[in-house]
């Protein structure tokens, strides 16, 4: 158990280091360019308007928030300090709304779109992949190229096709948004019904692509397993194919589980553009608007959120691996011994 | 290298993938030369449907879609190939030095690789793109390339690591060859197939990344790409205006390009990976 604790400690230290590096990138990259955009925009705000009093107040807010009168490292420290207090600054475009508020409003939509789509896509894809590997000719020649083709289309491109054929041409589904604009966000039956109706197409475009990707991976893993000695042995013993498939599935699915854990990190950033296609009110839509309006605090908030989700998912995966797989613990011990 | 290509050609998958990709390549190379019009010329009305004169109709500014498609394919291929080349070169260099040298260089290079494996490259790309004042096709390809090498580096490192204890490598070392010469002459030829496969996948992902960036309106400012075509179509409501000719061709073309590259990769995998061969 002490070894396990030290493993977790080490991983935690490593992720902390990565987080610091990510924060540095998040802070410095937009400021690296000559005539750094943030001070430029702030001065634009300050000089652009007529109502000088409001402008002055805006300008003062940003100068104070970014500490524009101080050196870059000092600005970075105050940025990190603000982060720890849960403050991501004030949005340029939706002044005076704080960035955290905007993100908190959008995040549930992205989660609700990605998480179920990942789970469903993963399960269906893996079953199809295993079947494709086992039933060589029938499924493999149809299913494999089909999944590969599905997986070659980015979510959002598939989304555009679905949007056109099912929502515009056939008029079966709504063309935009996460819910009927006449309704307000609430827990009423009407709102939930409307949200579910708007959910179908974005969900379908993420799920179909995920199924394709998972099926290809699972097929490959299963072929590896099917060619292994224990399968030959089982066959020579005359075991039924149902039983063999179960053995193969168990072994082949392990790496796929790792893949699933990593893809959980994409719950925030995985369908950014799909959200844009459907004007779905998630993080992708927020990021898109922020980019169009050069709203740097909001952009940096989005990128930070995406990074945090990925780091968090990877860390959780490492922990659960340490718990599940005795070989990882053994390897860690060996590494420590050398 | 010729030997390698010959073996690739034995796979029906790789062969059909190559044929499709060659067709797209020809369209992207010859199209812009044969078509006289520039993609930015406004030749017709808003959203003219396809006709004998304008094969794929016009877009929201009355620009010819077919002309744009040819230029867009060229841009997307340029970005993909250049980004793929850069990513593969950096990844191979980092991975082979780390795998061959071991010890401290390996520890340092490996930590850097792991760092960039965990930090989503897309985030770095967004941060870089919003700060760049000029996003030309070349600049875009370079930043996509320098953010997507870690996967190549990781797999090359593993391959080199397993090769470095081979006899011929030992002999070269005893004969006094330097690290660089040994890596280039004794190790890389043996993993060439892996590197080519990694390159093929990197080209595909480079093309997709460019398209995604364009959809976020961070695409090239001076050229038409398949991504910017989709982005314009969406922005100017081509989908809701039933102007299918404005967005279906670029969507399909992107899918066909990535599909052909992944098909080549999968075919090569079956050729070079004996465990994947069916018995």
Please report the DSSP string for B15-69 in residue order: HHHHHHHHHHHHHHHHHHHH--S-TT-B-S-TTPPP-SSSTT-B-TTSBBHHHHH
Which among B204, B208, B216 has CB closest to A291?
B216
For residue A149, the tally of other CB atoms under 10 A from its CB is 16
For residue B13, give both structure tokens: 């998958």
Residue A30 pLDDT > 80, yes or no?
no
A312 touches chain B (CB under 8 A): no
Residue A289 pLDDT > 60, yes or no?
yes
Q: Is A242 exposed, middle or buried (0-12, 13-18, 19+ CB in 10 A)?
A: exposed
Place of tokens 């054929």: A165
Residue B276 Cα, gap to closest chain A Cα (Å): 6
Q: Which residues pair with A90 in a beta bridge?
A: A98
Give the pLDDT of residue A338. Answer: 41
Interchain CB distance below 8 Å, A303 and B244: no
The per-residue pLDDT for range A32-57, each reduced to its tens digit, is 665 555 566 666 655 555 456 666 67
Share of chain A above pLDDT 90, in %: 1
Q: Which residues of A touch B11 (CB under 8 A)?
A: none
Which among A151, A227, A311 has CB closest to B275?
A227
Please state, in angstroms and rounded to a whole number, the distance separating the CA atoms of residues B105 and B113: 12
Place of tokens 């990259």: A29
Q: Number of A to B CB contacts under 8 A, please give it.
A: 134
Give the pLDDT of residue B144. Answer: 92
Q: Which residues of B touch A216 (CB under 8 A)?
A: 266
Partner B, chain A 191-250, Cβ-Cβ below 8 Å:
216, 220, 223-224, 227
Interchain CB distance below 8 Å, A276 and B216: yes
Mean pLDDT of A98-126: 88
Which among B124, B244, B248 has CB closest to A25?
B124
Give the pLDDT of residue A45. Answer: 59
Interchain CB distance below 8 Å, B239 and A273: no
Which among B126, B248, B262 has CB closest to A152?
B262
Residue A26 Cα, gap to closest chain B Cα (Å): 7
Please state, in angstroms and rounded to a whole number, the distance separating the CA atoms of residues B1 and B14: 16
Interchain CB distance below 8 Å, A149 and B255: yes
A26 touches chain B (CB under 8 A): yes
The per-residue pLDDT for range A180-215, each reduced to its tens digit, is 766 676 777 777 777 777 788 888 888 888 888 888
Q: Which residues of B touch A163 (CB under 8 A)?
A: 239
pTM: 0.84
Q: Which residues of A touch B262 (CB under 8 A)?
A: 148, 151-152
Please state, in angstroms and rounded to a whole number, the distance separating the CA atoms of residues B211 and B215: 6
Give the pLDDT of residue A336. Answer: 47
Taking all residues of chain A, what is their mean pLDDT, rounded to a whole number?
A: 78
Q: Which residues of A touch B130 (CB under 8 A)?
A: 30, 37, 291, 294, 296, 299
Which among A26, A168, A288 has CB closest to B240?
A168
pLDDT confidence band for A324 (50 / 70 / 90): low
Q: To probe the interface with B, which of A21, A24, A29 has the most B CB atoms within 10 Å?
A: A29
Interchain CB distance below 8 Å, B122 and A153: no
| Residue B114: its H or E element | helix B103-118
Interchain CB distance below 8 Å, A21 and B124: no
Q: Which residues of B touch A223 (CB under 8 A)?
A: 275-276, 278
Residues B151 and B174: beta-carbon distance below 8 Å:
no
Q: What is the maximal distance between C-alpha atoms in chain B? A: 73
Per-residue pLDDT of chain B (279 residues; tens, 9 = 90+): 777 778 878 888 888 889 999 998 988 888 888 777 777 777 777 777 777 777 777 777 778 888 888 899 999 999 999 999 999 999 999 999 988 888 888 888 888 888 888 888 888 888 888 877 778 888 899 999 998 898 899 888 888 888 888 888 888 888 888 888 888 888 888 888 889 999 999 999 999 999 988 988 888 888 889 888 988 888 887 778 788 888 889 999 998 999 899 888 888 888 887 665 544
Q: Which residue of B has its CA nearest to A221?
A: B276
Task: Quote the distance between the C-alpha of residue B62 and its chain's center.
Answer: 31
Interchain CB distance below 8 Å, B251 and A153: yes
Mean pLDDT of A313-338: 64
Please state, in angstroms and rounded to a whole number, the distance separating the CA atoms of residues A275 and B41: 32
A311 touches chain B (CB under 8 A): yes
- List the one residue out of B148, B146, B153 whose CA is nearest residue B95: B153
DSSP B226-266: HHHHHHHHHHTTTTTTT-GGGTHHHHHHHHHHHHHHHHHHH
Q: Which residues pair with A98 in a beta bridge?
A: A90
Give the pLDDT of residue B89. Answer: 95
Q: What angle do CA B274, B276, B277 make, to 5 degrees?
A: 65
Which among B230, B239, B259 has CB closest to A148?
B259
Residue A316's contacts (CB-CB under 8 Å, 6 or more residues apart) are: A261, A264
pLDDT confidence band for A337 (50 / 70 / 90): very low
Q: ipTM exceeding 0.85?
A: no
Interchain CB distance below 8 Å, B130 and A32: no
- List the one residue out of B123, B133, B219 whose CA is nearest residue A35: B133
Please state, in angstroms and rounded to a whole number, the distance separating the CA atoms of residues B137 and B5: 30
DSSP class of A325: -
DSSP A155-217: HHHHHHHHIIIIIIIS--S-SSSSS-TTS-SSS-HHHHHHHHHHHHHHHHHHHHHHHHHHHHH
For residue A234, give both structure tokens: 């089982």
**Phi-psi sector, B202: left (phi>0), alpha (psi -120 to 50), beta:** alpha
């Amino acid at each position: 158990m002490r070894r396990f604790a030290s493993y977790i400690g080490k991983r935690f230290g490593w992720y902390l280091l990565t987080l610091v590096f990510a924060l540095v990138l998040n802070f410095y990259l937009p400021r690296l360019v000559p005539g750094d955009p943030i001070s430029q925009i702030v001065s634009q705000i300050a000089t652009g308007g007529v109502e000088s009093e409001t402008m002055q107040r805006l300008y003062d807010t940003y100068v104070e928030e970014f500490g524009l009168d101080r050196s870059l490292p000092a600005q970075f420290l105050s940025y990190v300090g603000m982060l720890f207090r849960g403050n991501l600054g004030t949005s340029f475009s939706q002044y005076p709304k704080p960035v955290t508020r905007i993100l908190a409003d959008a995040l549930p939509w992205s989660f609700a779109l990605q998480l179920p789509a990942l789970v469903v896509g993963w399960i269906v894809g893996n079953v199809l992949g295993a079947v494709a590997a086992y039933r060589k000719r029938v499924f493999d020649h149809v299913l494999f190229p089909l999944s590969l083709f599905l997986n070659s289309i980015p979510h959002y491109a598939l989304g555009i096709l679905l949007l056109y054929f099912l929502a515009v041409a056939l008029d079966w589904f709504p063309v935009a948004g996460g819910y009927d604009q006449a309704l307000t966000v609430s827990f009423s039956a009407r709102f939930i019904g409307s949200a579910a109706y708007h959910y179908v197409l974005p969900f379908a475009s993420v799920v179909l692509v995920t199924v394709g990707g998972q099926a290809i991976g699972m097929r490959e893993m299963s072929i590896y397993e099917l060619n292994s000695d224990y399968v030959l042995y089982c066959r020579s013993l005359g075991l039924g194919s149902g039983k063999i498939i179960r053995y193969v599935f168990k072994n082949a699915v392990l790496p796929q589980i790792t893949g699933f854990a990593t893809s959980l990190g994409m719950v925030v950033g995985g369908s950014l553009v799909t959200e844009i296609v459907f004007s779905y009110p998630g993080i992708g839509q927020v990021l898109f608007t922020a980019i169009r309006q050069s709203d740097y605090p909001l952009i940096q908030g989005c990128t930070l959120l995406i990074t945090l989700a990925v780091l968090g998912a990877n860390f959780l995966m490492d922990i659960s691996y340490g718990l599940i797989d005795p070989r990882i613990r053994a390897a860690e011990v060996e590494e420590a011994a050398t | 290298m010729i030997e390698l290509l010959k073996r690739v050609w034995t796979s029906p998958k790789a062969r059909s993938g190559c044929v499709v990709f060659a067709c797209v390549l020809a369209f992207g190379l010859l199209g812009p030369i044969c078509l006289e019009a520039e993609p930015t010329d406004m030749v017709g009305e808003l959203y003219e449907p396809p006709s004998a004169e304008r094969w794929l109709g016009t877009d929201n500014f009355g620009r010819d879609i077919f002309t744009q498609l040819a230029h867009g394919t060229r841009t997307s291929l340029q970005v993909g190939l250049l980004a793929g080349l850069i990513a593969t070169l950096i990844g191979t260099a980092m991975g082979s030095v780390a795998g061959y040298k071991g010890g401290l260089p390996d520890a340092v290079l490996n930590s850097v690789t792991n760092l960039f494996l965990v930090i989503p490259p897309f985030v770095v790309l967004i941060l870089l793109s919003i700060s760049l004042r000029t996003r030309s096709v070349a600049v875009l390809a370079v930043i996509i390339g320098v953010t997507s090498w870690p996967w190549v580096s990781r797999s090359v490192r593993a391959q080199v690591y397993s090769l470095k204890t081979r006899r011929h490598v030992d002999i070269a070392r005893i004969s006094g060859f330097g690290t660089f010469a040994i890596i280039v002459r004794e190790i890389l030829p043996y993993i060439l197939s892996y590197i080519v496969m990694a390159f093929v996948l990197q080209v595909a992902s480079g093309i997709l990344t460019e398209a995604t960036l364009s959809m976020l309106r961070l695409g090239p400012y001076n050229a038409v790409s398949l991504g910017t075509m989709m982005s314009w179509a969406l922005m100017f409501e081509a989908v809701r205006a039933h102007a299918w000719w404005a967005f279906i061709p670029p969507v399909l073309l992107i899918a066909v390009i990535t599909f052909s590259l992944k098909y080549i990769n999968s075919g090569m995998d079956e050729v070079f990976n004996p465990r994947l061969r069916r018995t």
